[in-house]
Amino acid sequence: MRLLDLSRTMGFQLQRGNILLREFPTDTLFDVNAIVAHVLFALLFNEVKYITTPEDLQKIENTLKGKENMIFSYVRAIGTPEHRAVMEAAFVYGTTYQFVLTTEIALLESIGSEKIEHAHLYFFHCKLALDLTQQCRRTLMERPLTTLNIHVFVKTMKAPLLTEVAEDPQQVSTVHFQLGLPLVFIVSQQATYEADKRTAEWVAWRLLGKAGVLLLLRDSLEVKIPQHANVVFRRPEKEVAVEYLVLHDIDLIIFHVENNMHTEEIQEDEDDDVEGPDLDVQDDEVAETVYRDRKRQLPLELTVELTEETFNVTVMASDSIVLFYAAWHAVSMAFLQSYIDVAVKLKGTSTLLLTRINCADWSDVCTKQNVTDFPAVKMYREGKNPVSYAGMLGAEDLLKFIQLNRISCPVNIASTQEAEEYLSGELYKDLVAYSNVSVLGLFSPGMTAAKEDFTEAGNYLKGYVITGIYSEDDIWILSNKYAATLPALLLARHKESKIESIPLAGTHMQDIVQIVTNALLETFPEITVENLPVYLRLQKPLLILFSDGSINPQYRKAILTLAKQKYLDSLTPCWLNVKNTPVGRGVLQAYFGPLPPLPAVVLVNLHSDGQVFAFPSDQSVTEDNLALWLKKLEAGLENHITILSAQEWKPPLPAYDFLSMMDAATSQNPTKKVPKCVKESDVQESDKEQHEEDKPAVRKEPIETLRIKHWNRNNWFKQAEKSFRHDKEL
């Protein structure tokens, strides 16, 4: 069998003798993984079934019940390292198991998988399903899809589910132990043998693929086991002594095993990172992902492609949103997918025209529109200056920005009844889902300067929060009802059904923006990778509750009560779900070393000395215990568990300093007056009647030439390499 290189003509050919088996276009064999994966995929075409729908999976599952087990895998695309690993496993085990492969996310979601952005592999125990109505039991391989991990996983599936032993746990050796997995011994005695065996089987199913489970008969042992111990845990390292544990709950056994396994995985990851960042890999990962998704058919017809000839005509003729991107730029192309997702969601529901322009082809247009970075999104409305989008590069945040921009500036409220509807969320109930807080400014008719400041602030915040203004003669009705001293701000929190008033006397535009921005923050938020920078900007110590799953309602109530009583004003209380945000385990390890049992409460002072304090693990998380612990901290009676390094995490190259770019953009405050704000319906009517020149911009944008002067990636990399060398010399 041979692979012929015909890349100058059509690509590659796979032949057996003189028989042509398969032809491969050149662009599909982009690296070694892709070559191996495609060749094996062609050779094992009959052994590995490729499916696209849940119905296909169900049909295969039904035919295998009572006969044969199945290995089902999902990979992001054909030719990836994960695809190669699966195909190599199929080459070895294809005669023993039925291999099924898919690249469809919808199929993965249909079987209830989480974290669908990663490759998955399931073992379907169809041989045990003797009834056609019975679903095959499934076991997920939780380790990354590599050839070695799949081999270990399949070996554990072939091993006995439960083994009975009557010898010293330190001397026992099973397939699991030989494969580098821990062993869990459920200690049993004659009187409780049947119940212990059932418990051991439950534990074995829960730990299948992660650890070996054995039933240890205490009555037949020559070696003595502590009388109180009911579980023995043996790590895969031979020199480590066994642990004798007292665990009366199956979940505690599972937690102990998984907790120790996570520690090993994190340590391996940290060892791999010692060498430092690989700039080529960091840059190529996005480009590689875009390349692998290149065959994904996007409904581009939902957006209008603009050129130099059509840009002004299209943008001036209708309310439009424009995506400025470069076709060769990986991040631009990745965001284009999110942009199209927004177009799909808005199809048939919005009067806003979604357009796009490729700045690689029409650089003059992008320069005239002050576009200096890619990708960029701007909203254009007739008679108004464009509004730039500065949020996250994702479909959800962009959709929120577009929907909230349906209301132009702070909307003028006409009556107290309309004000009540506005505060209750009824006036714009279709927008409440995008903004949990509605802001209403209350002013006497004569408070001109205060109204102008609020109007500027509302204009600055449009697209991120709903704002309104009321300034009629009967303003005293609302002022008395909500105990608001004019000028004032009413913040309506729709989720909590709560309205609070904030006086605005002596405040300016920047103060109002800060007040509203802080009001958008939750009192006790779940910290994620996306929102952590927002809460770090508060420059307060973090009081973090780490939880293995959803937070206990009692813990939430305790911390919210302390916050309401002003105990936590100098702190930022928050919680982190280590299942949703796995990096939390690495954070805990940096604080404690060995992972502590969860929940765990810590106080981290990142902005001064880096000290980390731990709430006593033997105390329950209650209002009284937390309050007493915080008082001891304040009095200096508690010792820290570690001090975080003051070393800065700088970007590897100046061009990667995206946070500084964002800070520079948000620090530009509007200095000029803005047009009077009106409702969406009023805007549409006035736009038909008036054709004025563009008014001053709300956010002043610098007039610069395009940062990427030549549409040549090689020039950029040369400059980056030169800059990096200079930094190393310094």
Dihedral sign for Cα 220, 224, 226, 231, please.
negative
Reported confidence tier of residue 281, pLDDT bands at 50, 70, 90:
very low
DSSP string, 26-85: GGG--SHHHHHHHHHHHHTTTTEEE--SHHHHHHHHHHHTTT--EEEEE-SSTTSHHHHH
What's the pLDDT score for residue 290?
60
Residue-averaged pLDDT of the chain? 78
Rounded CA separation 695/692 (Å): 8
Q: Quick one: average pLDDT of 664-678?
A: 48
Tokens 């509007």, located at residue: 670
- For 15-56, write each residue's pLDDT tens digit: 455 555 556 555 555 567 777 777 777 777 678 888 888 888
What's the pLDDT score for residue 573?
92
What's the pLDDT score for residue 649?
60
In contact, 115 and 87? CB cutoff 8 Å = no
Least confident of 56-60, 287-291, 491-495: 287-291
What's the pLDDT score for residue 351?
80
Cα dist from 344 to 110, 299, 323, 338, 399, whole Å? 22, 8, 15, 10, 11
- Going by C-alpha positions, the residue among 366, 294, 359 that lies closest to residue 79 is 294
Rounded CA separation 464/436 (Å): 10
Least confident of 44-48, 230-234, 303-307: 44-48
Reported confidence tier of residue 533, pLDDT bands at 50, 70, 90:
confident
**Sheet of 212-217: strands edge to edge?**
163-165, 212-217, 183-188, 231-234, 243-245
- For 141-194, write each residue's pLDDT tens digit: 988 888 889 999 999 998 899 999 888 888 888 888 888 889 999 988 888 889
Rounded CA separation 570/199 (Å): 48
3 state SS of 100 = strand
In this predicted structure, the answer to whether residue 384 has a pLDDT above a threshold of 90 is no
- 644 versus 686: which is more confidently predicted? 644
Reported confidence tier of residue 448, pLDDT bands at 50, 70, 90:
confident
3 state SS of 467 = strand
Burial class (CB in 10 A: 0-12, 13-18, 19+), 449: exposed
What's the pLDDT score for residue 7?
41
Rounded CA separation 130/136 (Å): 9
Reported confidence tier of residue 295, pLDDT bands at 50, 70, 90:
low
The tokens describing 599, both together, are 């929940």
Opening angle at CA 547, ends 542 and 553, nearest 5: 95
DSSP state at residue 526: B
What's the pLDDT score for residue 543?
92
Opening angle at CA 243, ends 237 and 248, nearest 5: 135
In this predicted structure, the answer to whether residue 493 has a pLDDT above a threshold of 70 is yes
Q: Quick one: average pLDDT of 643-654?
A: 67
- For 585-623, write each residue's pLDDT tens digit: 888 888 888 888 888 999 998 777 788 999 998 888 898
- For 112-125, write each residue's pLDDT tens digit: 776 666 788 999 99
In contact, 613 and 630? CB cutoff 8 Å = no
Least confident of 118-132, 223-237, 613-627, 688-702: 688-702
What's the pLDDT score for residue 276?
41
Rounded CA separation 203/180 (Å): 19
What's the pLDDT score for residue 386?
87
Reported confidence tier of residue 643, pLDDT bands at 50, 70, 90:
confident
Rounded CA separation 440/627 (Å): 35
Cβ neighbours of residue 651 closer than 8 Å, sequence gap 6 or more: 657, 658
Percentage with pLDDT > 70 across the chain = 78
Antiparallel, parallel or unpaired: β 376-380 and 411-412: unpaired
In this predicted structure, the answer to whether residue 374 has a pLDDT above a threshold of 70 is yes
Of 428-437, 484-493, 701-710, highest mean pLDDT:
484-493
What's the pLDDT score for residue 663?
66
Antiparallel, parallel or unpaired: β 70-74 and 98-102: parallel
Rounded CA separation 569/12 (Å): 66
Cβ neighbours of residue 506 closer than 8 Å, sequence gap 6 or more: none
What's the pLDDT score for residue 46?
73
Antiparallel, parallel or unpaired: β 137-140 and 120-125: antiparallel
Rounded CA separation 75/558 (Å): 43
List, in sequence order, every beta strand (DSSP E) within 525-672.
542-547, 572-577, 600-604, 611-614, 642-643
> 380: part of which helix (H) or strand (E)?
strand 376-380
- The total of other beta-carbon atoms located within 10 Å of residue 617's CB is 12
In this predicted structure, the answer to whether residue 305 has a pLDDT above a threshold of 70 is yes
- 397 versus 123: which is more confidently predicted? 123
Cβ neighbours of residue 668 closer than 8 Å, sequence gap 6 or more: 699, 700
Rounded CA separation 321/389 (Å): 10
What's the pLDDT score for residue 29?
58
Reported confidence tier of residue 668, pLDDT bands at 50, 70, 90:
low
Opening angle at CA 351, ends 349 and 355, nearest 5: 105
What's the pLDDT score for residue 690?
41
> For the whole model, what pTM was predicted?
0.48
What's the pLDDT score for residue 548?
87
